[in-house]
Structures are given as structure tokens and as C-alpha cells.
Structure 1
């Protein structure tokens, strides 16, 4: 993939890059996978009679079981480690209530960002041209893909930049680093 560049046009600024067919395929596959996990999570939300009457959606009150989805939809509140022992129960109750209220709209935003990437990445590679608004959606969507992949690979601050060739995570870590580069290049190009 070529670095993102910013070009001014009569219709406003555009961000441009080009990716080959393999890169486009990998990105589309990763985005589709993340969207699938989020759609599955949204589909597991309980059906609420009040929500059907009022149109207000409620989400799951419990955290996701899948580490990648849990990374995309983290708890809203973390208990104070110095607090009393019942702080964990209070925190779980607070997180359940907050999750139930806000998770549907968070999932909607993540689905919209991922869908924007899928709409703008040519299936067989080629030129990608984005408006600044589309580029913002790309940043959100790329970040979600990186978070999900990082959780799946168990990447943390102690993970080395490269892994031994016999480590099954090694090729996926290269993809993680590529996504980081794509995201950073886009951030740089967005700056005026």
C-alpha cells in the first residue's frame, strides 16, 4: 500500500492511496470478520417489550465472552482496587446498566465505520479516494480491526516487534503492524 496523501480539489480535500489486490482482500476480510462479531453480539441482545413500544433499544447487560469483542466493547467502569470488597458487585451492576443502555449505539457506530471501509476498498485493489469524513470512519474502523486482532493475538506492552518464525502468531503480527502503519499514514495525511 502506498502512503496516504492529501490532495485539494474543487470539491474539497481528498485523501488518496492505492493498495494491491492482496492487501484489499486482507483488509476486507478482517473488517468483515469484525463486523460479523459485532452483528452477532447485537443479535444476542434481549428483546424488551418496553423497547418495542418506545423504540428505545437495549443491549446486553453482560460483557462479551469472546476476547476480541470484549476488547471492542469494554466495561464502562472499573472498580477501585482500594475500595471495599462489594465494589466488584456494584461495578458489575453499573457496567450492566451502562452496557444495556449504550451498547446498541456503540455497535451501530462501529458497524457504520466498518461498512464505510468495505464500500471504499476496491475488491481487487486499486486506488482509494476518501473525503475527510470517510477517512475519519476509516480511522475508527481500522482501530476496531487492530483492537480485535490484538486481543486475538494477545498483544500487550511486552509483545516484541517481531516473533520467531515458528510462533503461529508471527504472520498475523505482521498484519497488525501493517494495519498500524495504514492508520498512522492516514492520520498524518488528515492533518492540514
Structure 2
């Protein structure tokens, strides 16, 4: 005997089946690393917004860069898993963005991510010795929000599986289903990262 769908499941079914065809996507996350730590992933995902807000309010720009990098890293993992599930993902961020570029991430986003990563490395390894200034780190941290939005928006619109029926949905720890246009609009207008 199978279990009845939960109210949350029914809400998801309604979203998928009542949205215009092609507007909802499901993103798998088997290789993202969250499936073994799903409860902590959800807790951290909620908490990271507070950590980012605290970093901004405290002028802790190296912390802000690090937190936003983790969000971008997570979405690049989602992109690679949904575009090229057969490849072994690199863990180091510089190599990860190269893999994403090779999988189809546009050159303009790749170049911005590469510049962001170089600034991050200079901030973490060069501030104390003088190869960068805190003002440069602050500018990079402040501009990282628009890069995060641009990266996530591209990934949400260009990867994942289009779903339009509950029959297309399958349980997968860490997987997510979204109505992409609404998600991207909310991200652009209300980004808490």
C-alpha cells in the first residue's frame, strides 16, 4: 500500500501541472554533496542569509566573499550535475568554473567568475602581505551579489529537466523543483545572498 501524498507534495503537483508548459524545472542533486547531510543542508541554507546580512552590516567583506562563493559553488555543482552528469566534478573552485565553462556556461559569466575567484584568492592570501587593499576587497564583495544573481539565473534557465506533470517528478534528496521565471524574478528583486 502506498502512502498518500503530503500537502506539500500536492502543492508541488499543482504548481507543476497548473503552470504554463515548460515553465517548471527539476534539478537533480545526487552528486552535489547534500544528500548525505540533507537536514543540515536545509538548516545551513536558511542560516547563510543571516550570516551574509551580518557580514554586510559588520563590513566583513572577506566573509561576505566566502559565503557568496559557497552559494555560487553550490549552483555550479547543480549545473554540472544536470548538464554533464557523467563527469567527475572538481572540488576546487577555479577548476569547477572551468568545468562549467566547458559544459556550456557562457564565456562572459565564466570570465566574471574567474575574476571573482582571483580577487577571493588575493583577499584570503594577500591582504596581510599587501597585495590587495580592503577597499578592493570591499568592491569585489559588493559586486559579487550581481554575479551571484547572474550565475544562478543562467543555471536555472539553462539546466535541469522541464517538468509539467507529477509523473515527471521523482524523489531525490537535495533535488528541487521550481517555476523558473518566478524564482529568477524573486532572486533579482529580493536576493538575500
TM-score relative to the length of structure 2 = 0.32
Higher RCO structure, 1 or 2 (CA under 8 Å, sep 6+): 2
* Larger helix percent: 2
TM-score relative to the length of structure 1 = 0.32
